[in-house]
Chain A
Amino acid sequence: MNPIFVILAGAIGYGATILGWVLAPKSFAFAWLAALSVWVAWPLGGMALVLIHALTGGRWGIAIHGVLAAGARSVFLVPLFVIPYALTATRIYPWLQSGVTQFDNAIYLNESAFLLRGVIYLLIWLILGALVTRAERSAEELARLAPYALILLALTTTFAAIDAIMSLDPTFASSIFGLVFISEVGAISLSVAALALVLSPAPDREALRQIARLLLAFVILWSYLAFMQLLIVWQSDLPHETAWYLPRWRQGWDFIAWLIAFTHFFAPFFTLLSSRAQHSPKAVGFAAASILVGGILHQFWLVAPAAGARSWAIALLTLSALLAMACTNLLAARWTKQIWNWIEA
């Protein structure tokens, strides 16, 4: 891709985002969190998939190894993108605002504990990113690293999702929430890698088929977990749990919810069921694009209704923030490798 085009698109993204930050700081805070929760799937999922492939093997991982390794390297951008989030966090979390009544779970949800946990997640991710990047060329080293790294990744991702997204409503608790986010991370990052493979000049057909089946597995896993949360909340019918779904179902948000069900489950699931589609780059590309749209919509649907107002502004800001992050990521993918080689030498 032409770097000038990428720089221009990134500049538009940053321009719109900064304008949003100045004019509507509260909407910006929600939008940045939504965009960050989508983008972070790329470094976390890239690391996780590289490590999973080191343990399982298979053509699929070899075909997209370069792309996934670049994804894992982009974890070094996380601190940069966390800065605006950290600066505006007081605007979006009710338990961070001064003068509100204490919540029952204040022992977990308070400023210093939140900061401490955030620093721990960041440190673990950065160290894992450095270790994966160093071991990237050797399958053996990656396989030695993988068990510990995957366990740490799963734990930190679960708690990060709870801290950053679930705590938007401090009275809501769902024990499946972290797993839903982990499956979302896997689905988004594999979709991006699948799109990169489909758009490459001569995609490996067998690898494409394996990736199509893995995508199908991620779609089923995510749908199962996301639906289970709804079903359990529906059956137990407790006020503090159903209250989380209400703002995500009223004032037109039910339309977004159905759109998520369609783009994140029905379209990719029924496309990838057919073994002929699993061999076709076009069909796999369509399914991956649909999952990507569904993933963005899903994270937006998790975050934005908590704002309670200005959903359109948040939607626009989320898209521009995502554009800014993606362009930065694209440009940095080359530099991080060079910087890494320089550090190693």
Chain B
Amino acid sequence: MSRSFEAQAASKGLTGSFISEEASLAALSSLNAAGVGEVTLFSPVPPNEAPKPSRLPAVALVMGLLGAAAFFTLQSFANVIAYPLDIGGRPPFSWPSFIPIAFEAGILSVVLTAVIGAGALCGLPRYYDPVDETPMIRDSSIDRWVVVVRARDWDALARSQAILQDCGARAIEEAEL
């Protein structure tokens, strides 16, 4: 806390540590309300309130239905329009035999959507985050709630610092994020 803003001209990141969940949540909501930039909370224990349900299951379901419908349509097109063959006298639109493939394709679409989507939600292509290098982040896996701010500009950085102080942060550090 001895360094001033001028000395750290290259950084617009800020980390603040709290000793209680309530204080950190209060800081989080006022920072979000102030619109200073991207704000993240690192917590040593799972949060008390249930996290917002993800939209991923619904997306996976829709993709699964689309996949099943697409493969059912593909088989219908192939057997009825493109290559109609007489197979043991069955009608060209032999729908019971299309269902297993449509089902498999539906499951494949669901699994691919869920796996890729879950990876994307975790920010998978990015395998490194500079926040891991900050001294304070280690406390967040012991006994501190750490709020990390990626401020939009210098003014936002100054406002974030004030908000963190108002909310009772035990320590505030700047970081290159």
Where the two chains meet, the residues of A that have a C-beta atom closer than 8 Å to any C-beta of B are: 227, 230-231, 234-235, 237, 273, 275-276
Residues of A within 8 A of B61 (CB): 273
Give the distance to chain B from A264, nearest Cβ to Cβ, in Å: 16
- Interface pair B89/A231, CB less than 8 Å apart: no
Q: How far is the CB of A221 from chain B (nearest CB, A)?
A: 15
- Could you tell me the distance in whole angstroms from the C-beta of A96 to the nearest C-beta in chain B? 33
Chain B positions 67 through 106: 1 when the CB is less than 8 Å from some CB of chain A, otherwise 0: 0000000000000000000001110001011011000000
Q: Can you sample 18 A-B contacts with CB below 8 Å?
A: A227-B96, A227-B99, A230-B96, A231-B96, A231-B97, A231-B99, A231-B100, A234-B90, A234-B94, A234-B96, A234-B97, A235-B97, A237-B88, A237-B89, A237-B90, A273-B61, A275-B57, A276-B53
List residues of chain A with CB within 8 A of the CB of B94. Answer: 234
Nearest residue (CB) in A for B94 is: A234
CA distance A108 to B28 in the complex (A): 76
Q: Give the docked Cα–Cα distance between A237 and B87 (Å).
A: 11
Closest to A232 in B: B96
Binary CB contact string for chain B from 46 to 60 against chain A (1 if under 8 A, 0 otherwise): 000000010001000
Interfacial chain B residues near A235, Cβ < 8 Å: 97
- Rounded to whole angstroms, the CA-CA distance of A64 and B52 in the bound complex is 32
Describe A's contact surface by its main secondary structure: helix
- Per the CB 8 Å criterion, the residue count for chain B at the interface is 11
Residue of B nearest to A275 (CB): B57
Distance of B4 from chain A, by nearest CB (Å): 51
CA distance A230 to B61 in the complex (A): 26
CA distance A252 to B176 in the complex (A): 73
- Of all chain B residues, the one with the shortest Cβ separation from A270 is B61
Could you tell me the distance in whole angstroms from the C-beta of B95 to the nearest C-beta in chain A?
A: 9
Task: Give Cα A276 to B61, complex, Å.
Answer: 15
Which residues of the other chain, B, contact A237 by a CB distance below 8 angstroms? 88-90
A231 to B94, CA, bound (A): 10
Which B15-69 residues have C-beta < 8 A from chain A?
53, 57, 61
Q: How far is the CA of A231 from the CA of B88 in the complex (A)?
A: 15
The 4 closest A-B pairs by CB, nearest first: A234-B96, A231-B96, A237-B88, A230-B96
New A-B contacts (7) at CB < 8 Å, excluding given A230-B96, A237-B89, A237-B90: A227-B99, A234-B90, A234-B94, A234-B96, A235-B97, A237-B88, A273-B61
Which residue of chain A lies nearest to B87 when distances are taken between CB atoms in the complex?
A: A237
Chain A neighbourhood of B100, CB < 8 A: 231
* Shortest distance from the beta carbon of A235 to any chain B beta carbon, whole Å: 6
Give the distance to chain B from A209, nearest Cβ to Cβ, in Å: 15
Chain B residues, CB < 8 A from A273: 61
Rounded to whole angstroms, the CA-CA distance of A312 and B61 in the bound complex is 39
Chain A proximity of B28: nearest CB distance (Å): 26
Bound-state CA distance A276–B57 (Å) is: 12
A239 to chain B, nearest CB (A): 11
**Quick one: which of B61, B96, B99 has the most chain A CB within 10 A?**
B96
Q: Give the complex CA separation of A69 and B106 in angstroms.
A: 40
How many angstroms from the CA of A15 to the CA of B38 in the assembled complex? Answer: 74
Q: How far is the CA of A275 from the CA of B94 in the complex (A)?
A: 35
Contacts of B96 in A (CB 8 A): 227, 230-231, 234
Which residues on A sit within 8 Å (CB–CB) of B53? 276
Inter-chain CA distance A275–B90, complex, in Å, is 41
* Residues of chain A within 8 A of B99, CB atoms compared: 227, 231
